[in-house]
Amino acid sequence: MLRNANVNRKLFSSFLMIGLINLLIIIILIGFVYSSRKPIITNRVKQHMTSVRNLTKDKLTLYFDVLKLKVVDASVELSQGKKLPLNQPELESLIVLRNGEPSTIAGRDLKFSLESLPQQNKTFTSFMDSLIFIRVNVGKESFLWFFNNTALNKLLVPQEGLGSTGETFLVGRDFKIKSASRHVPNEEIGEIKNDSVIDGLSHNSGNFVVRDYRNVEVLSSYTPFIYDSLEYVLLAEMDISEVQSPLQSLIFQMALASFAMCITNLLCSLFLTKRTSNELEDLNNEINKLNSQKERSTNESAIQVLKAQEEEREKISFTLHDSVGQYLTVLKWGLSRLKKRTLDVEHEHIDNLSKTCDDVIHEIRSISHDLMPTLIKDFGCWYAIRDYFEKQKQIVPHEIEYIVNPDVETLKFTKEFDINLYRMVQEFFQNSLKHSQATNIKLGFLKKDDQLVLNYYDNGKGMDGNRPLPASLNYRAKLFGGEMMRVHYDKGLGFKVTFNLREILSETN
């Protein structure tokens, strides 16, 4: 008995010592992980925020470039006695100066001093803290355009890719925020004067840990944004607490695991000291069995995770392929045609715009986000598709015909199918523009029995009946139980896609 008691004490002491050593190792490991992973995580966040910041800067530049082209063209048409051709919801006021006398021809009247406005042609400047001003001189007339910052806010807030606390915004030389805030959208914010803003106004780019206008410590990525006489600092910021949350979560999990290990080790020590060598052997066999089961379960879970990852990557790939990149392709195509109708002195500027489009397309392809068209979310796919074709009619010199039966437009589909149908229409149209060199495009929808039928036709090249169906379009059709085929129309080949209404209608029908 005495010998067994000594053995038990030695076994218990040995197991307890092993547990204490393991605990010490884990504490050292936690300290090492914290000190080594903190700069790595912070640098990755900085790189990501810099990418978001640069992408936002490109979006703002593109917005101003396009707006400038529209305003110049509209001013020329107004000088020729035509009606206001520009339909811009953000237009606050349009004033024309004839012989030095101002006259408001659109929007609300603004009180200002003419001497306070720049005299240069096609110049942007901040005006009244909340308006963007463009002056276009055409002959003896000057057209003064004033736009509010609604469009800028749409580009900046909310900002995808910056977590739950991140945001992007503009700060002027007066240290006031010129765009909406994610955290206090309906409140006026005073001055924000920290190292990021000061260094950005000195035409520098970088990253700082500063306190923002809420007096909250944030990681700030900043760069100057200069466009004509506009001079801002573009900032992308995220709360430090969120930047370090992955590391804090890892530390907490490791601490919890170490505590659980100590408790488990103590219980196991008490348990094992009461067993004989035969019982220890039986326990070892049981542990081996459990490890084997755990390994099989882990393998099965890994297969499921890989499958889910591949499905998500495929979804994101198709969504990005059919979305913003296609709009930019149309824009670039429109710029190339615009170049043919403009003077040689404007060609370099248009070439720069085309290069900017290429850069934006490249950046967008690197972003892994599933985009949701706003019109689909708010009004459904029929409104979004009709709006899409109306916009294309204004951009491309094609004969575009869109036909949909009234009973079809009353159908309401699931959110997933709305997006899928909209993407298919986009891809059909973009394929016609990029590959077929078509001049006539027709799209129609009709309801036949319990089926929705999509018919698409263009008179371009590439509609070879022996070629396989477009892979992505065929995939989208099959994704919702649809069937895609080539069909003969009066002037050539086209596509016909049919869907079973019972599989795509929403519960509100």
Domain boundary among 339, 367, 395: 367
446 in a structural domain = yes
Domain boundary among 330, 348, 367: 367
For the chain, give the percent of residues with pLDDT over 90: 6
152 Cβ contact list (under 8 Å, min separation 6): 60, 63, 132, 170, 178, 179
My answer on whether 464 and 403 are in the same domain is yes
Highest mean pLDDT: which of 204-218, 320-334, 335-349? Answer: 204-218
* pLDDT tens sequence across 414-472: 877 888 888 888 888 888 877 777 788 888 899 888 889 998 888 877 556 567 778 87
**Average of per-residue pLDDT across 62-90:** 84
pLDDT at 62 over 80: yes
Residue/partner pairs of 464-470 with CB below 8 Å, 24 or more apart: 464/493, 465/493, 469/495, 470/427, 470/431
Rounded CA-CA distance 506/70 in Å is: 40
Q: Is residue 199 very low, low, confident or very high in pLDDT (cuts 50, 70, 90)?
A: very high
**Average of per-residue pLDDT across 163-189:** 82
- Predicted pLDDT at 205: 93
- Predicted pLDDT at 6: 57
My answer on whether 377 and 436 are in the same domain is yes
* pLDDT tens sequence across 247-281: 777 777 777 777 777 777 667 766 666 665 455 55
Residue 375 and residue 415 in contact, taking contact as beta carbons nearer than 8 Å: no
Mean pLDDT over each residue of the chain, to the nearest integer: 76
What tokens appear for 215 in the block?
A: 């007096």
98 in a structural domain = no
91-107 CB burial, b ≥16 within 10 A, e <16: bbbbbbbeeeeeeeebe
My answer on whether 486 and 379 are in the same domain is yes
- Predicted pLDDT at 276: 52
Rounded CA-CA distance 337/69 in Å is: 13
Rounded CA-CA distance 112/90 in Å is: 19
Rounded CA-CA distance 99/109 in Å is: 19
- Predicted pLDDT at 126: 54
Higher pLDDT, residue 317 or 349? 349
CA torsion sign for 327, 331, 333, 337 is positive
Q: Is residue 200 very low, low, confident or very high in pLDDT (cuts 50, 70, 90)?
A: very high
Higher pLDDT, residue 182 or 69? 69
**Average of per-residue pLDDT across 370-387:** 74
My answer on whether 348 and 303 are in the same domain is yes
Q: Is residue 300 very low, low, confident or very high in pLDDT (cuts 50, 70, 90)?
A: very low
What tokens appear for 312 in the block?
A: 């998500």
pLDDT at 180 over 50: yes
- Predicted pLDDT at 307: 39
The helix or strand, by DSSP H or E, that contains position 236, with its residue range, turns out to be: strand 230-239
- Predicted pLDDT at 273: 65
My answer on whether 481 and 402 are in the same domain is yes
- Predicted pLDDT at 202: 92
The CATH number of whichever domain residue 483 belongs to comes to: 3.30.565.10
* pLDDT tens sequence across 128-175: 556 788 888 888 888 888 888 777 787 787 667 788 888 888 888 888
- Predicted pLDDT at 198: 92
My answer on whether 326 and 401 are in the same domain is no
Q: How many domains does the chain have?
A: 2
Give the range of the structural domain holding residue 296, as residue numbers without chain letter.
292-367
Rounded CA-CA distance 126/155 in Å is: 18
